[in-house]
Structure 1
């Protein structure tokens, strides 16, 4: 299943102005590298995959649409969250999640 192109376009727009953004096919979707660090991805299930502070995972999982990601049926390590469209429906919500990824990159 290909990634959600509309979500990828929204991510591109939200990352406008960030340094050295590039796109890489990864995780069965489209990942966005910021300054050569993986930040977010549009996955093959139409969700946003977010790289985040492992110490904030429990807090972030309480947000609407957030869940623990799995890869090949196994839970991924702390520091990753996926967010379905109920948590990324508005541009403000999407920007908030991308902000958490960017915060982690600069920490």
Structure 2
């Protein structure tokens, strides 16, 4: 399955200063892990975000956001942001920052 290389590069730029950042092929795309915890990723032309239960539920009310359905299973605490919701660098940066803010609360793996 292909993924949007330009979106991957844009996410890399947002996360460039993060320590303990690892990129890994997963979900048919690229995942970004912080301190061993999955934070976000790119699959097809979508951005996957780990936001935690509360923030993910709030995010679903925003345009271009939907639940993360992986092989017929809804992954709670995660959302997908479609490309129209990532049109500006500011929008992308805010989404990734939201994911980072949640993931840094998790114990390192």
- TM above 0.5, one fold? yes
1:99 corresponds in structure 2 to 97
1:18 corresponds in structure 2 to 18
Report the RMSD for the aligned CA atoms in angstroms.
Answer: 1.1
Superposition map of 1:1-107 within 5 A:
1-43=1-43, 45-76=44-75, 78-107=76-105
TM-score (normalised: structure 1): 0.91
Give the Cα–Cα distance (whole angstroms) in 2 for the partners of residues 30 and 48 of structure 1.
Answer: 10
- Contact conserved, 2:2 with 2:28, CA < 8 A, in 1? yes
TM-score (normalised: structure 2): 0.90
Unaligned runs of 5+ in 1: none
CA drift at 1:21:
1.1
Give the Cα–Cα distance (whole angstroms) in 2 for the partners of residues 33 and 57 of structure 1.
Answer: 18
CA drift at 1:22:
1.2
Q: Give the match's secondary structure for 1:79.
A: strand
CA drift at 1:73:
2.4
Q: Which has the higher strand share?
A: 2
Unaligned runs of 5+ in 2: none
Cα deviation per residue 1:54-94 (whole Å; 9 max; x = unaligned)? 12222111122110111112322x11100001111111000
Pairs aligned (count)? 105
